[in-house]
A and B are shown apart, each in its own frame.
Chain A
Amino acid sequence: MDLLRFTTAGSVDDGKSTLIGRLLYDSKSIFEDQLEAVERFSRKRGDERVDLALLTDGLRAEREQGITIDVAYRYFATPRRKFIIADTPGHIQYTRNMVTGASTANLAIILIDARKGVIEQTCRHAFLANLLRIQHVVVAVNKMDLVDFAEARFEEIKESFTNFASRLDNLVEMTFIPISALQGDNVVEKSTHMPWYQGPTLLYHLETVYVGTTENHVEARFPVQWVIRPQSGQWPDFRGFSGRVAGGVFKPGDAVTVLPSGFQSKIKEIHTSDGPLEEAYSPLSVSLLLEDEIDTSRGDMIVKSNNPPQVSQDIEAMICWFGEQPMSPRGRYVLRHTTREVQAVIKEVRYKVNINTLHKIEDDLEFRMNDIGCISVRTSAPVIFDAYAKNRITGSFILIDAGTNETVAAGMIRG
């Protein structure tokens, strides 16, 4: 893969911004004028050394208070790969931000302070990464310089995290790396302080880890975004259903069904401005032309007839609540799923999850900001979906408060 998207999770003071600053700095992704600006600000604030964390703080309030407020995206590239980092803050609205960052990531770095070891928040980070189906986790045991670079301490943390992680069903691969973000040990350069560690540096691991794509190439799914009708003499009968393939592979001649209507047809052509394609697969944006004139519009889904998704007005999902206001019991919300928008009413809260212990909560069912749990909803019109476990695109939705227009929840559909 040419591109790796990862997210970073750590508590306040775990050194997350320093780690990202170090990754950018040591991989020479920082420009001279950026570094000069950071040096100027560090001096002005009276810091003893240049604070690399400042490289990632974009807003004035963040620089002044030394905190991170909102998810920020960072970009860097090495000759091997391009990276997009979703840098999420460790304190207020933590869950909301981490869920947002994790929704587009293939890998999560979980930071642990070597002095503190695996704490509640570590478990929370791992749980959220797993909930969003991030299959690759790097556990970066940071501040090794403050525990005398002791192998025994590293092994102890590794064992206790592994014990906890056995309860996470989506993890495919876990890598433990002892680092000091402040001094640069094992981030980009191999540490001279930990000869007992034979593994890769963090950057080398990120450059080389095999991350199977999160795209689904089995069940063919095509949510229609927009209908292209040029109405010009040159293209008199052109009617293209444009969108981005959300799963599977489409080829001319394939038998397809348009949902929710159920009309059937065949693919006549896969159109792009650069000419027709022989096949289209995720995540390519194309336009499909069908053999028959079928009433199809935005919000419909074109699927291969032999492998249909579920079509239902009843959905059960894990959700994370983002709203300032608690969820209103039996409340009505707008549900946005692929390119479709429907009304939804909360039918039942099944349970909430205590994300520190992973226990179910069944006695307090009010969803407040950052709460996670399982609900069922009834929608005003059918939703065309797969389980989130099968397809991140056709298995996810957001809830919107129709009064404030705010996004109040993220949902992952259960199969």
Chain B
Amino acid sequence: MAGAALPTAELTTSGRPILLPNEIECSLLSNVELEPEGSPPLSSSIHLRSSFLILTTHRLIFVSDSSAAAANTASYVPLASVTHIFLLKKSIKSMFGSPRLKVQLSVGSDGRVGGMGTRSIVATLVMRGKDDVEAFVDKFRQNWGARVWEREKESESASSGSSLVVESSASSSGFDSRGMRVVGVAGILRREQEMWESTDKSLQDAFQDLNALMSKAKEMVMLAEKMRLKLLSGPSQAGSSNDEELGSKEEMQDWLLSVGIVSPVTKESAGALYHQQLSRQLADFVKIPLERSGGMINLIDMYCLFNRARGTELISPEDLLRACSLWEKFDVPVMLRKFDSGVMIIQNKSHSDEEVFARIKLLITRPDALQMGVSAGDAAMTLGIAPAMAKEHLLTAESRGLLCRDISPDGFRFYINLFPEIRTDDIYLVKDQGIYATWIKCASSPSRLQ
């Protein structure tokens, strides 16, 4: 198999790579080939063709370029294994041919990429797509130089160490940053003050300009996470907090609860493949909100949720619509549906109207509903969905002949459809069995007269 020597990258069901913690997607190239030099047994196992390439802060991910998501396979080269990036060749030949970029990779003694390298091979990235290659190479070099993965390891070990320090300092009344021993209420106050100042400083730094904010983004996320944890553990220890405080805490929690998409697909990173990639990412994202809202969600609600999660990289409604309509081409478990009224929703492919109709029927044949009908609001409460959606369901059920409507000053109400049971040749005839007879019993019951 081609590329067997490369580790396999995990993909979501819609064919987007699953990123590592803190990994951020930076750029995307279509139609890239990985062509190693050197002896055949090794090179053939690394050779990869016709795939698109995703550059992240940690890896080069090669995803085989097929439209069916199920057939997608992916492998990656960790940037840590890249030992050298050669200069992009600028010759007359390269002006006409596809741009080629040579990289040196360290390979283990078994010929596998990743892990401890003992040997090194040179491989060429042949970029046949019509993307901005120079920008990609710049970004590649930048990411490789940044060595984010190394810093992570350091911070991991550092954080485990520092937590030990904090614990010990907490137990032995602690020292402040200048090495002065602080004790009692004054010490606690000073520590609080110091913490407050450092938080304040990072906030100020962050808001100096947008670039600074972006570079501070990670710190901000960590700060937000910390605040969230503190808020979650807060109520148990703070018994004296008043209602107002509690309210603002809840509000704060709401803000922080929705943890956004770490690496949103942007026009900048995905280029020509933007809508395709956006579509796949959206398919992954909608799963949880869909489950929560009973298998169906309004497109407008989805737009809000999706953009909320994306933070600053907002998309336009048109982009969302295009991304949704691309689902038909991929093998994803969700679909876009348009109701007769023009309302558009996203629903699971497994979602069936029959199930909803069965529940509506149950609701509509209850004695009080037989008598008074149900409104969209009543149905929304029982079915646990939004009123607008409930109305769509009721209208669909009506068009199938399950319900019929009554418009009165009480509003728009739906009743079980009795018309098919009434005989036109004898309008007084009531069959003993059936919903018509049940309805008459309910309608003439004393509760109506009171």
Q: Is the A/B pair a real complex?
A: no
Chain A contact residues, CB within 8 Å of chain B? none
